Structure 1
Amino acid sequence: MQPHATLPGEGGSLVTPERAFISDDAGTILRFALEALTSGMAAALVTLVEIRGGAARPLGAQMAVREDGRYCGFVSGGCVESAAAFEALEAIASGQDRMVRYGKDSPWFDIVLPCGGGITLSIHKLRTAEPLLAVLNSLAQRKPAGLRYSPRTRTLQSLPAATPTRWHKESFEVGYRPCVRAIIYGRSVEAQATAALAQATGYDVHTFDRASPRISMLTDADTAVILLWHDLHRELPVLQAALNARPFYIGALGSQRTHLKRTAALRERGFSEEEIGRIRAPIGLFPKARDAHSLALSVLAEVAATRNGSGER
């Protein structure tokens, strides 16, 4: 049976949770909650604050639930979201925040997580739009931000800096980072395929077929610079600018022999071995990707692995 809740002011009518759309993008979820509040509708934020054993989503995964039962986001693989939305509707109706456990060590014997683990969710009835607006404004300016939730005081506040997702003292903090910006250089089928796949991934994609002074303005700590030229001479100015701008990823197409020439050219221009060592070359997570689409998959897999801190070679 589909769970439902009774909300005040509706003549005792039942509200059934229903997914508004499918997304696990943090900015999209916060924006959904913000739009509810600014339109005069109550909403709750559901956050994954504890994992026991395995789990389908990382710590800090979130859902937003409106008082009409519509929700978005994920805190599991899809097996508890409707039940979590029901709990959020109850929190909205009562005005009382709550912690709910599912899976292992949960009182709900009929809700079993496929991974065999357990999760704890914090459910907070949003009382102001200001923290959400502050985080979204920071992300729009490509700056990291965070939210701090205190179960004791039932308050949510924004954090204007890079924030690890964790329990800190008696509060739970969630960190948010700007989306990956992919700057792709090259006039080739490989560059086209990589740009198309990056856009499908949700990255902020910029393509160039020649060196551009815009690289310094576009590049930040959440940028990947991807060079897919077959021309070492044309790529050197871009590599120099990228090394000075310090994006989280720099990758360049070419063989080991080509990279030795690239390394020598950069060394002549005054770059240290440590700086040159930041370049991923030959580019891609798996070697010898010969066709354009395999190469695009290989490159973006390496970008994602590097972003997640697991891309060491």
Structure 2
Amino acid sequence: MSDTAITMMPNPVRTSSVENPADILGFAIEAAQHSGAALATLVEIRGGAARALGAHVAVASDGRFCGYVSGGCVEAAVAAEALQAITDGRDRMVKFGEGSPFFDITLPCGGGITIAIHVLRSTDVLDDTLKELACRRSVALAYRPELQRLIPLDKVPLRPGWRGKDFISVYRPKTRVVISGQVGEAEAVRRLAEASGYVVDVVDPKATSQTIAIDAFTAVALLHHDLDLEEILLIKALASPAFYIGAMGSTRTHRRRIDRLQSIGVSSEAFDRIKAPIGLFGPTRESASLALSVLADIAAARLENFG
């Protein structure tokens, strides 16, 4: 990189702390359509790392960037490399940490990472990706370095990573949390779920005609003290592909719940999906602790199921 190029290029400036891939892709699309952009992707981890394979940083040609590929220690350097790639009009692979030529840039974990920087020449593939995610469908894109292209895939693998000469990025819909329960507990879980960036639906147990969307990326939290009030939503959740179904109540209450389900013909395989008592830790005696316990349990289940 020449001194002239360094002087002329803008300084990288972080514009937000967003981590949701859809937000990062949206930033990349907006920047590419206005003045040019690059999408940097974590494609290799050597040792430890603060982010998972497939993590992104989007960089605008004016120096603005968002996203993370580390704990925050190399993002500005990644953005600087992306700005040079935009100027050159060529993709590039850059190493940081272990095995990197940048001796003054180290990772606290002691490992190393490789970043693929792709200059966006078209946003069509990313536009389509965001449309699919908005419809709550998973998407996979293959980055082929030799062609400097992003290619949509028909089949979405479980995890991102290299498949031959292609690096596969996997995008999944945001977690939706469907909540039904006592006002205090339900409100506490709602507030924390929204603060965590989840899509939240609060269900009125007495509104039997209410339409409830439960897909494979949905967690259902039943926070009732009355088994009658949870029954309609619980049966719907058990018939759905929801990745998490949790219900409040003691071990004795849960035995009563199972007896009720068995009496109406629900199979043991179905009610074995219920996490009861709900939450990662317990028992809790106030709504804030319950909300932390429930959301931590949902986050752990999402990670186990989808990475």
1:120 pairs with 2:119: no
1:177 pairs with 2:172: yes
Preserved CA contact (<8 Å) 1:4 1:15 = no
Paired position in structure 1 for 2:15: 20
Q: 1:109 and 1:215, CA in 2 relative to 1: closer, same or farther beyond 3 A?
A: farther
1:293 pairs with 2:288: yes
Say which SS state the counterpart of residue 239 (structure 2) adopts. helix
1:45 pairs with 2:44: no
Structure 2 residue identity aligned to 1:289: T
TM-score (norm 1): 0.93
Preserved CA contact (<8 Å) 2:188 2:291 = yes
Q: Distance in 1 between matches of 2:93 and 2:238?
A: 46
Structure 2 residue identity aligned to 1:62: H
Q: Distance in 2 between matches of 1:266 and 1:279?
A: 11
Q: Report runs of 4+ in structure 1 exceeding 2 Å deviation.
A: 3-7, 158-164, 211-217
Say which SS state the counterpart of residue 304 (structure 2) adopts. coil
Q: Distance in 2 between matches of 1:29 and 1:113?
A: 23
Q: Distance in 1 between matches of 2:141 and 2:38?
A: 14
Q: 2:81 aligns with which of 66, 74, 87?
A: 87
Structure 1 residue 216 displacement after superposition: 6.1
Alignment of 1:106-145 (within 5 A): 106-145=100-139
Paired position in structure 2 for 1:233: 228
Q: Distance in 2 between matches of 1:190 and 1:228?
A: 7
Preserved CA contact (<8 Å) 1:134 1:158 = no
Q: Distance in 2 between matches of 1:196 and 1:146?
A: 31
Preserved CA contact (<8 Å) 1:146 1:174 = yes
1:168 pairs with 2:167: no
Paired position in structure 2 for 1:105: 99
Q: Percent identity?
A: 48
Preserved CA contact (<8 Å) 1:36 1:42 = yes
Preserved CA contact (<8 Å) 2:182 2:225 = no
Q: Distance in 2 between matches of 1:252 and 1:38?
A: 47
Preserved CA contact (<8 Å) 1:4 1:86 = no
Preserved CA contact (<8 Å) 1:18 1:71 = yes
Preserved CA contact (<8 Å) 2:243 2:305 = no
Paired position in structure 1 for 2:64: 70
Preserved CA contact (<8 Å) 1:188 1:228 = no
Q: Per-residue CA shift, 1:245-300, capped at 9, x if unaligned? A: 22111000000000000001001111111110000000000121111000000001
Paired position in structure 1 for 2:5: 6
TM-score (norm 2): 0.95
Preserved CA contact (<8 Å) 1:187 1:209 = no
Structure 1 residue 217 displacement after superposition: 4.5
Structure 1 residue identity aligned to 2:137: K
Q: 1:4 and 1:108, CA in 2 relative to 1: closer, same or farther beyond 3 A?
A: same
Structure 1 residue 130 displacement after superposition: 0.8
Q: Distance in 2 between matches of 1:68 and 1:26?
A: 21
Preserved CA contact (<8 Å) 1:33 1:66 = yes
User: Which stretch of structure 1 is more off in the superposition, 100-109 or 206-215?
Assistant: 206-215
Give aligned pairs, total.
304
Structure 1 residue 14 displacement after superposition: 3.3
Paired position in structure 2 for 1:305: 300
Paired position in structure 1 for 2:197: 202
Preserved CA contact (<8 Å) 1:227 1:252 = yes
Q: Distance in 1 between matches of 2:188 and 2:111?
A: 39
Alignment of 1:251-290 (within 5 A): 251-290=246-285
Q: 1:130 and 1:214, CA in 2 relative to 1: closer, same or farther beyond 3 A?
A: farther
Q: Which runs of 5+ in 1 are unaligned?
A: none
Q: 1:89 and 1:14, CA in 2 relative to 1: closer, same or farther beyond 3 A?
A: closer
Structure 1 residue 210 displacement after superposition: 1.1
Structure 2 residue identity aligned to 1:290: R
1:61 pairs with 2:60: no
Preserved CA contact (<8 Å) 1:184 1:191 = yes
Structure 1 residue 77 displacement after superposition: 0.5
Q: 1:212 and 1:183, CA in 2 relative to 1: closer, same or farther beyond 3 A?
A: farther
Say which SS state the counterpart of residue 245 (structure 1) adopts. coil
User: Which stretch of structure 1 is more off in the superposition, 297-306 or 203-212?
Assistant: 203-212
Structure 2 residue identity aligned to 1:154: Q
Structure 1 residue 243 displacement after superposition: 0.6
